[in-house]
Each structure stands twice: as C-alpha cells, then as structure tokens.
C-alpha cells in the first residue's frame, strides 16, 4: 500500500527537524553552557514589594494566552490532546517564569524552562499530528514530552544546553516546511507563521534587553518585551484554532 505522503517529503522533514540536533551534538562538538550573565537583566526595579516587577508581571500575558488556548483547544480536532498540553504548558510558564524572575538563578531557571519544554514538545506533536495523521499523536506526544524534560535533566547534570536549544528550535523549524510541503487539513494555517515571526522577534528583544530598556527611556526592557511578544505568538495559535474550518470531507451516512 502506498504511503499517503511522498517519502521524499518525509525525508526532508526529518532532515529539517533532526539535522540541527546532529549538528549541535556532532558538528558543533562542544557543550553549550548556561551564560552566567543571563541572570543580569536590565530592569531590576521593584513595585508593590515585588522585585524585578516588569519581568514578573509580564508573565500574566502567558497565563491569559494559555487559558484562552485551553478554551479554544476544546474544538481542536484530531490533535486536541497535544493542543491542550501546549496551552497548559504556556499557562504554567507564567508561574515558572515569575518564580524565576523573583530570584534569578540556574536553580529557579529550571522551573521556568520545564513548562516551556512541555509547550514546545506538545506544539511539535500537534503540528506533526495535524499534517501527518491523527494516529501519530498517541505515540508522539508522550515521547516528545519526555525528550523535552530530559533535555533539562541533561542540562542540570552536564551543564550542556544543546539538546534544550534543539527542543526550542525543532517545532519552529518545522512550521514553514509543513505548511509548504503538506496539504492543509484546516484553514487559517498562516497564523502559525505569524506566531513563528512574533517568537523570532521575542528572541531578538531578549538579546537586546539593555538596548531596548535604554531606547524606551527605561519604560520597558527587552526581556519584558520578549514575554509580551512570545505570549502574542501563542495568541496567534489561539486565533487560528478559533477561526479555522476543517478541509477534510465528512462522509455522509446512508
């Protein structure tokens, strides 16, 4: 029996997803440690007795997007469980990231990143399930979530962030190719590209934390802006799920 998807497209997808991991582990060759300067954020102001208030309070955006997504995921179709896990992870990021920013350190950063791995790997499962077939979710979602958590355990044991970096990158790298190479099962898929674009801007804002804080006249830091942009990226997925229609024909009963 022929596969519903051309083998060349599956091979290209595997290369796009796993090629960066192979390069990080073999081509790059060196562990990537956590930069100790990562914990030194531009905006350390306190408000209402809360230290680092901007970076703490901006996590409410993740809570709002995650809860909205959990509501939208009720009608998500074949990948419902993966979408629910994705939005649950996003909602939990609000607590983990707030806890981290109250006392930035490698120890608290673990609890910031743990729900992020759930969100990224559940997103990966949802994307592949919706483009390759609903039967994939039962096996893929648990395996992906375990890999995400293991990437953080590996970081804690070895000090090496390479697998965690791949966990973040894999679903985002897959989005453009999945949209271009595989037939749509639902409308509104372009919202995924808007989400990827906003998340890319979030990473740029994170990198320019101090510069944005200075440019804004100490109104908002790059890291606070990162939180808001990343939450907006999640909201793009919420909009997609709320607006989309199925393109799969429904067989009529005789």
| Statement: residue 250 has pLDDT above 70 | no
159 lies in some domain: yes
Contact 89, 234 (CB under 8 A): no
CATH number of the domain within which 139 lies? 1.20.1070
Residue 179: predicted pLDDT = 93
2 lies in some domain: no
Confidence band of 78 (pLDDT split at 50, 70, 90): confident
Say how many domains are in the chain: 1
37 lies in some domain: no
pLDDT in tens, 209-249: 999 999 999 999 999 999 999 999 999 999 999 999 988 75
Hey, what are 195's tokens? 């989400």
- The pTM of the full predicted model, rounded to 2 decimals, is 0.93
Confidence band of 252 (pLDDT split at 50, 70, 90): very low
Contact 32, 165 (CB under 8 A): yes
Mean pLDDT of the 105-109 span: 95
Q: Which of 103, 209, 218, 85 is nearest to 143 (CA)?
A: 85
**Helix intervals (H) in the chain:** 7-22, 53-57, 60-72, 80-102, 106-132, 137-158, 162-181, 190-207, 209-215, 222-243
For the chain, what percent of residues have pLDDT higher than 70? 96
Give the span between the Cα atoms of 152 and 74, in whole angstroms.
Answer: 30
Contact 165, 120 (CB under 8 A): no
Tell me the residue range of the domain where 142 lies.
Answer: 7-29+51-243
pLDDT in tens, 131-183: 999 899 999 999 999 999 999 999 999 999 999 999 999 999 999 999 999 98
171 lies in some domain: yes
Q: How many CB atoms lie within 10 A of CB 207?
A: 13
Residue 146: predicted pLDDT = 97
213 lies in some domain: yes
DSSP conformational letter for 249: P
Residue 249: predicted pLDDT = 59
- Chain length of the chain: 254
Q: Which of 222, 200, 184 is nearest to 43 (CA)?
A: 222
34 lies in some domain: no
């Amino acid at each position: 029996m022929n596969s519903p998807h051309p083998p060349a497209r599956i091979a290209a997808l595997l290369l796009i997803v796993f090629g960066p991991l192979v390069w990080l582990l073999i081509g790059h060759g060196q562990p990537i440690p956590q930069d100790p300067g990562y914990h030194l954020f531009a905006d350390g102001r306190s408000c209402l007795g809360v230290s680092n208030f901007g970076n703490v309070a901006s996590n409410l955006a993740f809570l709002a997007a995650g809860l909205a997504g959990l509501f939208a995921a009720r009608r998500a179709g074949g990948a419902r469980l993966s979408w629910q896990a994705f939005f649950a992870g996003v909602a939990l990021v609000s607590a983990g990231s707030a806890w981290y920013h109250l006392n930035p350190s490698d120890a608290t950063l673990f609890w910031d990143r743990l729900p992020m791995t759930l969100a990224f790997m559940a997103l990966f499962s949802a994307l592949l399930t919706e483009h390759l077939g609903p039967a994939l979710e039962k096996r893929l979602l648990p395996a992906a979530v375990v890999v995400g958590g293991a990437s953080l355990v590996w970081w804690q044991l070895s000090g090496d962030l390479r697998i965690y970096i791949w966990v973040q990158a894999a679903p985002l790298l897959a989005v453009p190719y999945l949209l271009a190479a595989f037939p749509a099962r639902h409308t509104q898929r372009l919202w995924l590209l808007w989400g990827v674009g906003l998340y890319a801007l979030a990473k740029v804002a994170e990198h320019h934390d101090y510069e944005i804080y200075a440019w804004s006249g100490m109104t908002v830091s790059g890291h606070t802006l990162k939180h808001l942009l990343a939450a907006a990226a999640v909201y793009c997925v919420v909009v997609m799920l709320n607006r989309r229609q199925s393109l799969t024909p429904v067989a009529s009963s005789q």
